[in-house]
Amino acid sequence: MNAIQPADTLARQLALVIDLNVCVGCHACVTSCKEWNTSGAAGPLTDLNTRGAQPTGTFFNRVQTYEAGAFPVTETIHFPKSCLHCEEPPCVPVCPTGASYKRAEDGIVLVDYDKCIGCKYCAWACPYGAREFDEERKVMTKCTLCVDRVYDEHLPPQDRKPACVKACPTGARLFGDVKDPDSEVSQAIRERGGYQLMPEWGTQPANQYLPRVRTAAVAGGRGAGSAATERPATVDALKPTLAALCAGTQEA
């Protein structure tokens, strides 16, 4: 069993910040993640029974799409979700073998596949449904923040980013150190009202989301005032749905 270093003593915490204004739900991040982590050191991400009645696929990163508002005043929201690299990750202390751990040097939460016995305790503990079981190797997998890319000195500096960040055609995915107040991610969180997913669960997710700009149509009916940048009604309206879907996507 691994102890977790208290979040406030971590000098560095790498994370993703996702801009919900510009994500168009194209799934480029999903396929890029799948390709990199199937062929790279963290893979393979297995697909089973692909042409059968109940196909399954293992993905570190998924994009869920919701309709918010009430007809006819609705909008479509694309919501990418992967492991949030929580600063207080409940998936770590439940692991009986110490396979699940949080790195002290950069806060990335990882699984040591050589120690994992496939008991799935961590998947039950993760309230976001972010863990994916590899049915072929019988080990638990999850987003690694492309730890095998971001420190690879053989890659040019501009490529030392997660594959999903490199692939996003709209620049919706930012990557960096959320403990560094001058980083791009910290500035975006500070200036654009970045928020954590379900902070009431006490997990302190490192990944954050930039809320959609509130549109006049959804905020108060069509034509009722101008757009504002306050926390959007749509995010609050989505919370029960997100909570239910997080719980519903947990590993069985």
> Which residues are at the interface with ligand SF4 (CB under 6 A)?
83-86, 89-91, 94-95, 97, 99-100, 109, 111, 116-122, 126, 128, 130-131, 140, 142, 203
The residue (of 62 and 85) whose beta carbon lies closer to ligand SF4 is 85
> What is the C-alpha end-to-end distance of the chain, expressed in Å?
22
Q: How far is the CB of 40 from ligand SF4 (least distance, A)?
A: 19
The residue (of 69 and 118) whose beta carbon lies closer to ligand SF4 is 118
Count the Cβ atoms, other than its own, within 10 Å of residue 110: 19
The residue (of 119 and 242) whose beta carbon lies closer to ligand SF4 is 119
Q: How far is the CB of 121 from ligand SF4 (least distance, A)?
A: 4
Q: What are phi and psi for residue 141, nearest 5 degrees?
A: -130, 170
Q: How far is the CB of 29 from ligand SF4 (least distance, A)?
A: 17
Q: How far is the CB of 30 from ligand SF4 (least distance, A)?
A: 17
Q: Do residues 186 and 180 make contact, with C-beta atoms less than 8 angstroms apart?
A: yes
Closest by CA position to 128, among listed 248, 9, 208: 248
Closest by CA position to 192, among listed 206, 211, 205: 211
Distance CA 195, CA 17 (A): 9
Rg (CA), the chain: 18
The residue (of 121 and 215) whose beta carbon lies closer to ligand SF4 is 121
* Burial class of residue 112 in the structure, from the number of CB atoms within 10 Å of its CB (0-12 exposed, 13-18 middle, 19+ buried): middle
The residue (of 29 and 130) whose beta carbon lies closer to ligand SF4 is 130
Q: How far is the CB of 132 from ligand SF4 (least distance, A)?
A: 10
Distance CA 175, CA 249 (A): 25
Q: How far is the CB of 127 from ligand SF4 (least distance, A)?
A: 7
The residue (of 108 and 165) whose beta carbon lies closer to ligand SF4 is 108
The residue (of 117 and 227) whose beta carbon lies closer to ligand SF4 is 117
Q: How far is the CB of 154 from ligand SF4 (least distance, A)?
A: 28
SS (H, E, C) 129-189: CCCEEECCCCEEECCCCCHHHHCCCCCCHHHCCCHHHHHCCCCCEEEEECCCCCCHHHHHH
